[in-house]
Amino acid sequence: MTSEPSSERPTDEPALSSSDPSAGTAGEETSASRRASRRQRFMRVAGIALVVYLGVNLGLSIWWSREPPIFDTLEEARTHAIAQKHIAEGADLPMGYHTVHTAQRLIDTLLDKPGGLLVNDMFPPATYGAVPWRVEDAYGVRRWKAVRVRWLDNIPNWEYGALVAVRDIVLVLMLDMTRYRGQSEGPPEIRRAFQRINIDHTSWILPSAESQYTVARDELEAYLEALSRPGRERAPFFVRQDNLAEYFRYVERRLGETAIALRASAGDYLYDPRALTSFGYAHEQIAPQQTLERPEEERPQWEPPLAGREEVLDSSRRLVRKTPWLEIDDVFFEARGTAFALYHLLLAVRDDFEQVIDGQRAMGQMNRALSELHAALQPIRTPMIMAGRDYSITPNHSITLAAYLAQAHLAVADLRSLMSMGSPAGPPRAGP
């Protein structure tokens, strides 16, 4: 007897498991756990990358925020002249070589220090881009402006302070020190260097500030080569009292406005230049009826202010407003950069114009100005710039720096006055 085949067919295991509700739930949980695991790995990698990025930024910020050290201007100039074969070993530097090379060396410092030129950076770690912001200009008009979001702001302000001092010496070289008289024409290298060094310091592309400053440095190098030629082929450089007085006039103004800006960190105050100048104002007194409060219609118009905080009260007096809290360190480091550049430039000027300064018996005032500028460049031993009020328990670094620069300002004012008296070319010229 034969049995008929069974009509029931065996079902495979995967089909049974797919129809099981508990098995489907387990699969979904496994898929969700995999997605969670991938998410955790991504967050872990992103967190590690962020920590590394912030660590690198912090390290670069600390390294790039160090101020360049003081250098020996005479030794640097002599080494450069021998290396470029401008002079023979043991020979004296040509007249003016020391001053021009020091200006060139300061440009090198701005370009070649750690991080390079940071004042025009648009990318991290110095700057995190720019945002449109409506700001009020010196005349009270609100305008839209691209404001950089800076992570590093101390050294960029230091760079700008040094840059304006370099621009001053290049301007005096073009208008006075390399021209026989006002109607003569100066060397083309100095004119081209002046044009390049005065480009907007915030320009970062087409052209970049670095490229233009490099060209200015090369033009000064070309002038140094021409200054080292023998005989009539030598480029002009005139050591005269009126030239020196004109440069001291620029330095005096620069130190004066810098000291005033630093002083404003402690609060509003009345600025009277007659009380800050050592020559020519002893017989003048402030009239007792002149006070800060005057009718609105009698107040004079605004002038371009000192960092936007200077109100003109009358022909000689101004009311300087307190520096905003977030700008105190900016003003401080800009002043440090100016002091750094002026210290080295005055060292070079003292060497090139030694006979002129000695002839007016002004070497004491020159050394006094250099001593005050050197003291102003002492290392900062605190992690931040303190801004305590007058006679408060906390120090005020801006007031300390202002004290040194004010004394240097008085010494330079003395020098300018001494150089102006008895000058064979008469009073200093304001231009060509």
User: Edge-to-edge strands of the sheet including 269-271?
Assistant: 269-271, 318-320, 310-312
Looking at residue 16, its pLDDT comes to 42
Q: What is the pLDDT of residue 72?
A: 96
Helices (H), 186-299: 188-197, 209-227, 241-263
Closest CA to 110 of 149, 79, 67: 67
Q: How far apart are CA 172 and CA 431, in angstroms?
A: 9
CA distance 370 to 339: 10
pLDDT of 80 reads: 96
Residues in the chain predicted with pLDDT less than 50, given as ranges, are 1-3, 5-18, 276-308, 312, 314-315, 423-432
Report residue 114 as tokens.
């750690």
* This prediction's pTM: 0.78
Query: What is the SS3 assignment for 101?
Result: helix
Tokens representing 175? 């208008």
For the chain, what are the domain ranges? Answer: 71-118+154-238, 239-279+302-432
The predicted-structure confidence for 59-98, as pLDDT tens digits, reads as follows: 888 888 899 999 999 999 999 999 999 999 989 999 999 9
Phi-psi region at 91: left, alpha or beta (left = phi > 0; alpha = psi -120 to 50): beta
CA torsion, ordered 346, 348, 351, 355, to nearest 10 deg: -60
Distances (CA, A) of 87 to 75, 94, 227, 229: 14, 8, 11, 9
Helices 397-420 and 328-352 sit at what angle, rounded to 10 degrees? 30
pLDDT at position 147, please?
60
88 Cβ contact partners less than 8 Å away, ≥ 6 residues apart: 82
Write the CA distances from 71 to 82, 146, 154, 370, integer angstroms.
Answer: 18, 37, 21, 14
Q: Is 64 helix (H, G, I), strand (E, B) or coil?
A: helix
pLDDT for res 285: 35
Structure tokens at 20: 């099981």
| CB burial readout 251-284, b (16+ within 10 A) else e | bbebbbbbbbbbbbbbeeeebeeeeebeeeeeee
Q: Do 73 and 348 contact (CB within 8 A), yes or no?
A: yes
pLDDT for res 390: 66
Q: Note the pLDDT of residue 375.
A: 96
Q: How far is CA 363 from CA 350, 412, 427, in A?
A: 8, 11, 21
Question: Can you read off the two tokens belonging to residue 37?
Answer: 């695991």
- Reduced to 3 DSSP states, what percent helix, strand and coil does the chain have, rounded to the nearest 5? 55, 5, 40
Burial 300-326 (b: 16+ CB within 10 A, else e): eeeeebbbbbbbebeeebbebbebeee
